[in-house]
């Protein structure tokens, strides 16, 4: 199986496997669960029960072993006993979140420790389970945690793609790429290398490098690590000494780098540059999960760079036409027409770059994955038809064939996600749509001291919507409302009908916003949060506009904020 196929397929599975299938379909998911408990019977029961349901399982009897397992493996879920022989579960939870904030933690507790379990949820745990444990209840809670995790990852990836395609000016784009690389890959040192006129790699932008290093660095294709990655168009993970790596035995890395990822930026088999991400202060090294994210991120970056290069070429062409216009009086009218057409093309490119680029990414990925899928699937099918006798090999061929089928299904759902303007608009009762998303988040909000009051219309209120997109908007607004309340509060969801529109009001009694902030909340990249991207509400507003609706905010400092969504009622058939 080609490395490129493995990377592409695994990333798609990581980011877009939303809407978990039931127990009989979980066999092929291979999500990794770490069980941390000092009781042998509990570890053995969970290990056996979860493996039967298709999960990879790792076990640890104490906190020290748990941290070791977390640093060595890509773990999505941790089942953590609240009391361990060498540490308290709450203290271990804090260390886990420092190492990998994305890992979901479910606390295991006895009746006497329920208060500690609830406290741990306020510190970042997803939920808790009381002993004695029942494997069906454990598996159901894991599945629910993964649903929430994947929904948030899907929204995050959409926000990242929106940020990358928000500009086609090279200088602005490079700064966005560096900022997002630090966030997406949890790096503390990064750089983007592009090709100069002589075909050598130079540092176009960096975070953490001195001006002297930037000016002196020129690397030919094939030289050093970056040149090797550009020549072979293969991403690599580097950790510590390179003496054991036959590709780079004679090379050395900076002494302060603990771990690094080097990814080629390629569009239509043409190398555009190199993306470098390093961890210097962060103890945990990069793993395969990080490489998957880096590969998808690099695909988006490559498309954005290609757009920026096209824009630059168009700008140069425009300048040439203006100069020609000054010297060729007889063709003045013709030149002006061409300039107007060029300017119109530039505006259209800027307006459609986000969706067009995402669509191109999906098409390219589908094309790249389809051919190896057909070969792999066909080879496996042929082996099965010829009657493989060895049961292990026969089972492996069947797994390969099933994986190919599932990969095709993932690609089809990715294609649907990449075209929001052509989403699956269906007639829905808006009351039912809101109830679904509230049921997913209400428990977590209650743990944070926030009550949700729901007020629905007595009769169904039919609207024509893409249900998934509207639910993502409600989730975004609800999370913003939660962040606006320090310790506790109330969020009211009120659905009503106003003439030919359905109205959804989401009211909180949080801090509120001054008018100068309220005037900017829909501007891309404007945020009052320390770690916010500032693009969530901009995306929400665009989606609502695609539904021919309206999204408005009203707020009073010290009293709270109201988000109001209006959607046209569905026309009767």
- Give the tens place of pLDDT for each residue, 113-171: 778 878 888 888 888 898 889 999 998 998 888 887 777 666 666 777 787 778 888 88
- At 464 the pLDDT is 92
pLDDT at residue 462 greater than cutoff 90? yes
534-541 long-range contacts (CB < 8 A, ≥24 apart) are 535/159, 535/162, 535/163, 535/166, 536/155, 536/159, 536/476, 536/480, 537/476, 537/480, 538/162, 539/158, 539/159, 539/162, 539/476, 540/473, 540/476, 540/477
What's the whole-number mean pLDDT along residues 269-292?
Answer: 84
Res. 453: pLDDT tops 90: yes
Give the pLDDT band (50/70/90) at residue 18. very low
pLDDT at 366: 56
pLDDT at 14: 38
Task: Give mean pLDDT, residues 334-352.
Answer: 55
Could you tell me where in the chain the CATH 3.40.50.2300 domains are found? 31-159
Cβ atoms of residues 342 and 317 within 8 Å: yes
The yes-or-no verdict on residue 415 having pLDDT over 90 is no
Q: What residues have CB less than 8 Å from 447, skipping those under 6 apart?
A: 118, 121, 122
Better pLDDT: 353 or 197:
197
pLDDT at residue number 123:
85
Which residue reads 């998957």 in tokens? 292
- pLDDT of 307-323, one tens digit each? 887 777 776 666 666 56
The class that CATH gives domain 31-159 is alpha beta
pLDDT of residue 346: 53
Question: Which comes out higher in pLDDT, residue 473 or 535?
Answer: 473
pLDDT above 80 for 388: no
**Nearest partner of 148 among 377, 431, 348, 436, judged by Cα:** 436
Distance CA 501, CA 463 (A): 9
Q: What is the pLDDT of residue 24?
A: 34
pLDDT, position 28 = 39
pLDDT at residue 202, as a whole number: 93
Contact 58, 34 (CB under 8 A): yes
Average pLDDT over residues 262-290: 86
The answer as to CATH 1.10.287 being correct for domain 312-418 is yes
Mean pLDDT of 53-80: 89
**What is the average pLDDT score of the chain?**
78
CATH number for the region 425-568 comes to: 3.30.565.10
pLDDT at position 105 is 92
Confidence of residue 197 (pLDDT cuts 50, 70, 90): confident
Q: What confidence category does residue 535 fall into, taking pLDDT thresholds of 50, 70 and 90?
A: low
Mean pLDDT score, 494-516: 93
Average pLDDT, integer, range 531-552: 79
Cα–Cα dist 489/505, whole Å:
16
Structure tokens belonging to residue 534 = 């500032």
Query: Which token pair is 156?
Result: 């995050």
CA 162 to CA 355: how far, in whole Å? 9
Task: Output the pTM of the full model.
Answer: 0.44
Q: Percent of the chain beyond pLDDT 90?
A: 25
CATH 3.30.450.40 segments of the chain: 167-310
Q: What is the 3-state secondary structure (H, E, C) of 186-237?
A: CCCEEEEEEECCCCCEEEEEEECCCHHHHHHCCECCCCHHHHHHHHHCCCEE
pLDDT digits (tens, 9 = 90+) for 211-239: 888 888 899 998 888 889 999 999 988 87
Q: Which one is predicted more confidently, 297 or 568? A: 568
Look at residue 122 in the predicted model and tell me its pLDDT: 84
Q: For the chain, where do the domains classified as CATH 3.30.565.10 start and end?
A: 425-568
Residue owning tokens 């026309």: 571
Pick from 33-37, 144-148, 468-472, 492-496: least confident: 144-148
Total Cβ atoms within 10 A of residue 531: 6
Query: Are 151 and 18 in contact, with CB atoms under 8 Å apart?
Result: yes
What DSSP string describes 326-354? HH-GGGHHHHHHHHHHHHHHHHHHHHHHH
Exposure class string for 454-493: b at 16+ Cβ within 10 A, else e: eebeeeebbbebbbbbbbbbbbbbbebbbebbeeebebbb
Other residues' Cβ atoms within 10 Å of the Cβ of residue 281? 8
pLDDT in tens, 175-186: 988 888 888 888
Mean of pLDDT values over 316-341: 60
pLDDT band at 413 (very low <50, low <70, confident <90, very high): very low
* Topology given in CATH for the domain delimited by 167-310: Beta-Lactamase (3.30.450)
Q: Measured between alpha carbons, how far is residue 114 from residues 35, 111, 120, 450, 545 in Å?
A: 19, 6, 10, 19, 46
Residues in CB range of 51: below 8 A, 6 or more apart? 57
Query: Pairing state of beta strands 462-466 and 425-429?
Result: antiparallel
Q: What is the pLDDT of residue 20?
A: 33
**Residue 17, pLDDT score:** 34
Would you state the torsion angle of the CA atoms of residues 160, 166, 169, 170, taken in this order, to the nearest 10 degrees? Answer: 0
Least reliable range by pLDDT among 11-15, 40-44, 162-166, 250-254: 11-15
């Amino acid at each position: 199986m080609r490395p490129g196929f493995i990377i592409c397929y695994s990333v798609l599975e990581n980011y877009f496997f939303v809407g978990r299938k039931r127990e009989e379909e979980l066999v092929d998911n291979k999500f990794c669960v770490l069980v941390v408990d000092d009781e042998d019977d509990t570890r053995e029961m969970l290990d056996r029960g979860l493996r039967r349901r298709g999960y990879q399982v790792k076990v640890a009897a104490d906190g020290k072993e748990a941290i070791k397992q977390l640093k060595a493996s890509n773990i999505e879920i941790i089942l953590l006993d609240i009391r361990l022989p060498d540490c308290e579960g709450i203290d271990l939870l804090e260390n886990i979140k420092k190492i990998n904030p994305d890992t979901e933690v479910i606390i295991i507790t006895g009746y006497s420790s329920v208060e500690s379990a609830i406290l741990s949820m306020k510190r970042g745990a997803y939920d808790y389970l009381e002993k004695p444990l029942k494997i069906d209840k454990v598996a159901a809670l894991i599945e629910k945690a993964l649903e929430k995790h994947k929904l948030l990852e899907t929204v995050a990836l959409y926000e990242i793609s929106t940020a990358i395609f928000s500009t086609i000016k090279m200088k602005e784009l490079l700064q966005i790429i560096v900022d997002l690389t630090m966030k997406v890959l949890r790096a503390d040192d990064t750089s983007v290398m592009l090709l100069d006129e002589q075909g050598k790699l130079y540092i176009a932008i960096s975070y953490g490098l001195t001006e002297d290093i930037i000016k002196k660095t020129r690397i030919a294709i094939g030289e050093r690590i970056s040149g090797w990655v550009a020549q072979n168009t293969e991403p690599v993970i580097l950790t510590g000494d390179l003496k054991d790596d036959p590709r780079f035995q004679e090379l050395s890395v900076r002494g302060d780098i603990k771990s690094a990822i080097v990814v080629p930026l390629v569009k239509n088999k043409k190398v555009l540059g190199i993306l470098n991400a390093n961890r210097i202060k962060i103890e945990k090294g990069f793993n395969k999960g990080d490489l998957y994210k880096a590969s998808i991120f690099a695909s988006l970056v490559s498309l954005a760079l290609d757009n920026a290069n096209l824009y630059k070429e168009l700008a140069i062409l425009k300048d040439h036409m203006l100069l020609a216009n000054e010297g060729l009086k007889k063709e003045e009218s013709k030149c002006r027409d061409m300039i107007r057409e060029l300017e119109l093309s530039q505006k259209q490119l800027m307006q459609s770059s986000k969706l067009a680029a995402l669509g191109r990414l999906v098409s390219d990925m589908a094309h790249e994955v389809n051919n190896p899928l057909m070969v792999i699937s066909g080879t496996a099918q042929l082996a099965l038809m010829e009657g493989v006798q060895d049961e292990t090999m026969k089972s492996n061929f069947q797994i390969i064939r099933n994986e190919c089928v599932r990969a095709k299904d993932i690609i089809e759902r990715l294609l649907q996600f990449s075209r929001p303007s052509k989403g699956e608009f269906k007639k829905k009762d808006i009351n039912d749509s809101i109830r679904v998303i509230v049921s997913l988040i209400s428990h977590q909000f209650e743990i944070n001291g926030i009550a949700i009051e729901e007020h629905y219309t007595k009769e169904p209120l039919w609207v024509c919507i893409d249900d998934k997109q509207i639910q993502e908007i409600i989730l975004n607004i609800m999370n913003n409302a939660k962040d606006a309340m320090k310790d506790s509060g109330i969020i009211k969801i009120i659905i009503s009908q106003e003439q030919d529109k359905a109205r959804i009001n989401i009211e909180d009694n949080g801090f509120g916003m001054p008018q100068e902030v309220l005037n900017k909340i829909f501007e891309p990249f404007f945020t009052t949060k320390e770690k916010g991207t500032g693009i969530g509400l901009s995306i929400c507003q665009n989606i609502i506009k695609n539904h021919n609706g309206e999204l408005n905010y009203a707020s009073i400092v010290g009293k709270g904020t109201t988000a109001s969504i209006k959607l046209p009622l569905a026309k009767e058939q």
